[in-house]
């Protein structure tokens, strides 16, 4: 019997394209460099009904966001390779001025966050993540079916 290898972090992220976003869906961009955490966070948010796009770091998040017609929330790690969370969030606000940002971090740090920034300290449970997201943008808007 042969088993396929599933750990291929360099492959493209498997997710729907921006054209597939249903009208009225709540769109979240999840940026996390740790694969297991990114998968867990994405699963929790999708299970609640949010439309989630994923990125491994800030640079990739900017590439993903350029393709999105709208963005309601960014959930991002603070310390990541390529581009740190706060720097990425500032660049995303140029394209989406009203986007909300939820920072998550497992480190004590001296990063300069916005005065009204929301920060969750890792580790946390899925229900805490879902609660914080709902507090920031409300429950997911279920797309209308034509």
pLDDT in tens, 129-142: 999 999 999 998 76
Q: How confident is the model at residue 98 (pLDDT cuts 50, 70, 90)?
A: very high
- At 80 the pLDDT is 87
Interatomic CA distance for residues 93 and 134, integer angstroms: 20
More confident residue, 12 or 37: 37
More confident residue, 4 or 25: 25
Within 1-146, where are the H helices?
35-48, 58-66, 85-95, 126-137
Say if residue 110's pLDDT is above 60: no
Domain spans, the chain: 48-78+89-107+116-121+128-139
Residues contacting 57, CB < 8 A, separation 6+: 31, 33, 80, 81, 82, 83
Q: Are strands 118-121 and 100-105 parallel, antiparallel or unpaired?
A: parallel
Could you tell me the fold of the domain covering 48-78+89-107+116-121+128-139? Rossmann fold (3.40.50)
Write down the pTM of the prediction: 0.84
Quick check: bond before 123 cis, omega within 30? yes
Averaged pLDDT score across all residues of the chain? 84
């Amino acid at each position: 019997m042969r088993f396929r290898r599933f750990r291929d972090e360099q492959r493209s992220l498997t997710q729907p394209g921006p054209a597939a976003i249903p009208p009225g869906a709540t769109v979240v961009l999840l940026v996390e460099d740790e694969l297991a955490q990114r998968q867990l966070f994405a699963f929790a948010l999708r299970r609640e009904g949010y439309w989630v796009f994923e990125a491994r770091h800030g640079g990739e998040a900017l590439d993903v966001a350029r393709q999105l017609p709208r963005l309601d929330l960014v959930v991002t790690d603070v310390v990541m390779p390529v581009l740190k969370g706060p720097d990425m969030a500032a660049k995303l606000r140029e394209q989406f001025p009203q986007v909300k940002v939820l920072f998550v971090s497992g480190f004590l740090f001296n990063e300069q966050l916005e005065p009204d920034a929301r920060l969750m300290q890792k580790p946390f449970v899925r229900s805490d993540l879902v609660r914080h997201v709902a507090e920031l943008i409300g429950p997911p808007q279920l797309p209308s079916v034509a």
